[in-house]
Structure 1
């Protein structure tokens, strides 16, 4: 089924209002989810809405957080999200990073005591709007086994780097540091389809295509899948995200991260507060004039787009390009949702006495 962007936006705002969010926070949280769907990242859009409600019902999400800076220097800060929606806490932190960058050239904010913050790209792109380079990363539910292990120790731990350009759209490198995001497994589960080999291993450490393997004791694999194909690099990237997001801020890290997924229970021996994020912004004109940078970014993009291709591919895909194409298409045709997601959303509508989709 396909729904218009305004219809899903209003529905999503109403759910957040129903759990007690302010109008401002409800609009912001809905915007993060809808932007994900519009960019074709269905795993992190409204399909996640029931997960946030579930955590709120378990009193793990505070709908009215008092988000505060708890440590600060001229160019850095640590933010405590007061168990708020990461969809709200992360933009708060990015605004601080950008304000510091405006004054000092760069700003860096580590966050503790937060929750799932949606797509990294949303937060990094906030900086691009101010002619800054944006950084956003977060740790997440421990579902990924490090290289040579079958114990779930890390999250999918996504990271995003966003660079402004001139005549071209921004370059947006937004990716999980695991072989695949957990949301893609959820999409496969709803569709009843197997997942590609190399995404996941069973509880004995063997490759499996079963999208339900995580619930049976299996684990996601780092980017690269195994050592022979570079999984130690994915493990290293994920570790970097975990340390910057949590060890630096005072959030939980590694296997102590409180999970977003329903089949894992929160740890009984936390080492920090909530989950952690790391946001950053750098002024382009701290390095060279903005116009010069954008001219050369356009040249960079043009040259890569003209690179020789293989197997009949039309051109090299610039990071962020597929999401932009999805946004253009969905602006015209609407946002497609699978039946299982529609059913979930309509159950939420019943739960709060709201109009169904």
Structure 2
């Protein structure tokens, strides 16, 4: 597989220019690009600039508003509901997290439900905004229905990620960022571009049989909940995904379950939408609302240290703290550049040419 390596700033400038060509303001273009580049830096290639062409195609179908009027439509002292005005989730979610942080500063915690939004990139971007304020961050979102609930072949739920981020003192933040399906759809897209098989247990075909074909979804199959099947705990993944869907969409007034708008331009949302767009749910909790900040962060350090010292099965494979691989990737890629496969570069250059912009 051929990779092209790009300096962070080159990809950042390229991405900003694409968003500006779509009609985003300079400020919004910079923020949207920052969310995507953060994913690539952290090694989450499925949610980085590889997604850029998808946003462009949704905009071309008039499903994304690049000049949104984002607003709070309902609130209490510690909670709010935000309408994203069909804006980029890359813009709407950080705006909503800022609301959650302000409410946390005043009340100890802040919780914001979002409707009428779009795909918001990596959840960790938003939770780390809270960590920067010495708060615990929480972010979930519903997504395109690609996942079948346990005992079904029908796509009813998205990959519906859950993310928590916890500040520490001398260690980096602990970041738990995971899909509630066996794999994120973006990983399938990468496998399709590489033309490689996917692990057993990721996908089932339209009859409910396991398949390793990365094109299994296009053939009418579905992703499986975390756990793969009932014997391995898929009902737990189903339960987590359902919780995300309800917090993100039923609570906010977004579309939920099989009605969640797809992140592909060639598929229109189902008719009779029960809500508006995709939904998110974001939270920020002040650590000092529970105990002195210094005490918590010292004990987080102790927690991380002890788990890193846990006796390994194999001396060559130590326990990995959630967030460590992403941090290692970020340190490396900031120095050595961001790798993109040929298919992604080709797609991005085709979009650039369409807008009359310089190619990579």
TM-score range, shorter chain: over 0.9
Residue in 2 that maps onto 1:14: 17
Residue in 2 that maps onto 1:320: 323
Match of 2:213 among 210, 214, 236: 210
1:191 partnered with 2:189: no
The answer (yes or no) to whether the contact 2:58–2:264 under 8 Å persists in 1 is: no
Residue in 1 that maps onto 2:164: 161
User: How many residues are treated as equivalent by the alignment?
Assistant: 357
1:167-246 alignment, distance < 5 Å:
167-246=170-249
Match of 2:303 among 300, 303, 316: 300
Question: In 2, distance between residues paired with 1:320 and 1:264?
Answer: 34
Question: In 1, distance between residues paired with 2:294 and 2:179?
Answer: 31
Q: Secondary structure at the match of 2:217?
A: helix
Task: Report the alpha carbon displacement of residue 332 of structure 1 after superposing the two structures with TM.
Answer: 1.1
Q: Secondary structure at the match of 1:161?
A: strand
Q: Secondary structure at the match of 2:218?
A: helix
Deviations 1:174-212 (A, max 9, x none): 000000000000110011100000000000000000000
Task: Report the alpha carbon displacement of residue 267 of structure 1 after superposing the two structures with TM.
Answer: 0.7
Match of 1:134 among 123, 134, 137: 137
Structure 1, unpaired ranges of 5+:
none
Deviations 1:100-119 (A, max 9, x none): 00000000000000000000
- Structure 1 window deviating more from structure 2 (254-263 vs 117-126): it is 254-263
Task: Report the alpha carbon displacement of residue 154 of structure 1 after superposing the two structures with TM.
Answer: 0.1
Q: Secondary structure at the match of 1:122?
A: helix
Deviations 1:280-318 (A, max 9, x none): 000000001111001000000000000000133342100
Match of 1:291 among 279, 286, 294: 294
Question: In 2, distance between residues paired with 1:347 and 1:143?
Answer: 27
Residue in 1 that maps onto 2:83: 80
Question: In 1, distance between residues paired with 2:205 and 2:316?
Answer: 35
Question: In 2, distance between residues paired with 1:250 and 1:348?
Answer: 33
Question: In 2, distance between residues paired with 1:313 and 1:200?
Answer: 31
Residue in 2 that maps onto 1:108: 111
Q: Which runs of 4+ in 1 moved over 2 A?
A: 261-265, 311-314
Question: In 1, distance between residues paired with 2:99 and 2:109?
Answer: 11
The answer (yes or no) to whether the contact 2:41–2:333 under 8 Å persists in 1 is: yes
Task: Report the alpha carbon displacement of residue 266 of structure 1 after superposing the two structures with TM.
Answer: 1.3
1:125 partnered with 2:123: no
Match of 1:26 among 25, 29, 39: 29
Residue in 1 that maps onto 2:337: 334
The answer (yes or no) to whether the contact 1:215–1:263 under 8 Å persists in 2 is: no
Question: In 2, distance between residues paired with 1:210 and 1:116?
Answer: 25
Residue in 2 that maps onto 1:349: 352
Question: In 2, distance between residues paired with 1:265 and 1:200?
Answer: 23
1:257-296 alignment, distance < 5 Å:
257-262=260-265, 264-296=267-299
The answer (yes or no) to whether the contact 2:73–2:83 under 8 Å persists in 1 is: yes
Question: In 1, distance between residues paired with 2:51 and 2:11?
Answer: 13
The answer (yes or no) to whether the contact 2:247–2:281 under 8 Å persists in 1 is: yes
Deviations 1:242-265 (A, max 9, x none): 000000000000000010034543
